[in-house]
């Protein structure tokens, strides 16, 4: 069968096998016949995805506005926020660790959420006419999103906190803060949002706002 253009082809990100695209119904997935990896999907509801991203932004603000944990030792209390933990690293001559913590748990997740919000508003038509005059912008945004996915490590930070809490139990009184629960919820939301492949967003852009 003759291909109309290069968009009829799809490459597997895992094994580099190339296939011809086939139309999918809403909610359906296409998988690689060689390695079984997901090739692409038809996103069923952008409203739901946008709602999840807005929720993630709200939870992100909460996670950075309250203390993560409160530690009590002999009547003395100590608590810190996520940014406070990064700042402590700078004060204790661990600038590299502090910068890495701030980058992976604050800057990258926030930028990722904001850029995803922008992309979805374009797809849903809220900014469609504006986008037609700046086609290069969406390309840069999508490529940035693809790059940022490897640097967002909120869930890794959460695991680190939980391991620390386990070690502290028995030595001090540990009181989980609001931010700890917010980080846990944020991790779940980001995992769900991250399950949407960038190429699926590209496909949606091609349908709703042709490049």
User: How deeply is 127 buried, as exposed, middle or buried, from its count of CB atoms within 10 A (0-12, 13-18, 19+)?
Assistant: middle
Task: Please say whether the beta carbons of 57 and 65 come within 8 A.
Answer: no
Phi, psi torsion values for 79, nearest 5 degrees: -145, 160
What is the pLDDT at residue 1? 40
Chain centroid to CA 158: 14
Judged by DSSP in three states, 193 sits in helix
Residue 102, CA distances (Å) to 77, 145, 174 in order: 24, 18, 24
Q: Specify the pTM.
A: 0.75
What is the pLDDT at residue 3? 44
* pLDDT of 2 above 50: no
What is the pLDDT at residue 110? 92
Percent of the chain with pLDDT over 90: 8
Model pLDDT for residues 143-189, shown as the tens digit of each residue: 888 888 877 777 777 777 777 777 777 777 777 788 888 888 998 89
The secondary structure of 78-142, three-state, reads: EEECHHHHHHHHHHCCCHHHHHHHHHHHHHHHHHHHHHHHHHHHHHCCCCHHHHHCCHHHHHHHH
What is the pLDDT at residue 54? 92
CA angle 84–85–87, rounded 5-degree value: 60
Q: How many CA atoms lie within 13 A of 59 on its CB side?
A: 20
- Which structure tokens are listed for 131? 């986008």
Percent of the chain with pLDDT over 70: 84
Query: Higher-confidence residue: 138 or 56?
Result: 56
Range ranked top by mean pLDDT from 58-62, 72-76, 128-132: 58-62
Model pLDDT for residues 194-211, shown as the tens digit of each residue: 877 777 777 776 655 554
Arithmetic mean of pLDDT, 54-82 = 82
What is the pLDDT at residue 86? 81
Task: Please say whether the beta carbons of 123 and 204 come within 8 A.
Answer: yes
Model pLDDT for residues 90-121, shown as the tens digit of each residue: 888 888 888 888 888 888 889 999 998 888 88
What is the pLDDT at residue 62? 92
Domain boundaries, the chain: 1-42, 45-208
Query: Higher-confidence residue: 61 or 88?
Result: 61
Mean pLDDT score across all residues of the chain: 78
Task: Please say whether the beta carbons of 10 and 33 come within 8 A.
Answer: no
Confidence band for 56, pLDDT divided at 50, 70 and 90 = very high
């Amino acid at each position: 069968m003759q291909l109309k253009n290069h968009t009829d082809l799809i490459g597997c990100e895992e094994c580099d096998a190339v296939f011809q695209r086939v139309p999918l119904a809403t909610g359906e997935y296409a998988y690689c016949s060689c390695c079984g990896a997901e090739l692409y999907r038809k996103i069923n509801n952008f409203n739901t995805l946008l709602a999840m991203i807005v929720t993630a932004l709200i939870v992100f603000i909460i996670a950075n506005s309250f203390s993560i944990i409160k530690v009590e030792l002999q009547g003395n209390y100590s608590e810190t926020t996520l940014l406070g933990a990064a700042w402590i690293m700078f004060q204790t001559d661990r600038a590299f660790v502090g910068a890495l913590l701030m980058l992976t748990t604050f800057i990258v997740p926030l930028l990722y959420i904001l850029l995803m919000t922008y992309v979805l508003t374009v797809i849903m038509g809220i900014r469609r006419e504006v986008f037609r005059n700046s086609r290069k912008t969406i390309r840069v945004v999508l490529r940035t999103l693809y790059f940022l996915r490897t640097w967002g490590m909120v869930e890794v930070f959460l695991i680190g906190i939980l391991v620390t809490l386990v070690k502290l139990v028995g030595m001090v009184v540990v009181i989980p803060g609001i931010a700890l629960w917010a980080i846990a919820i944020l991790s779940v939301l980001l995992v769900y949002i991250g399950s949407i492949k960038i190429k699926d967003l590209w496909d949606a852009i091609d349908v709703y706002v042709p490049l």
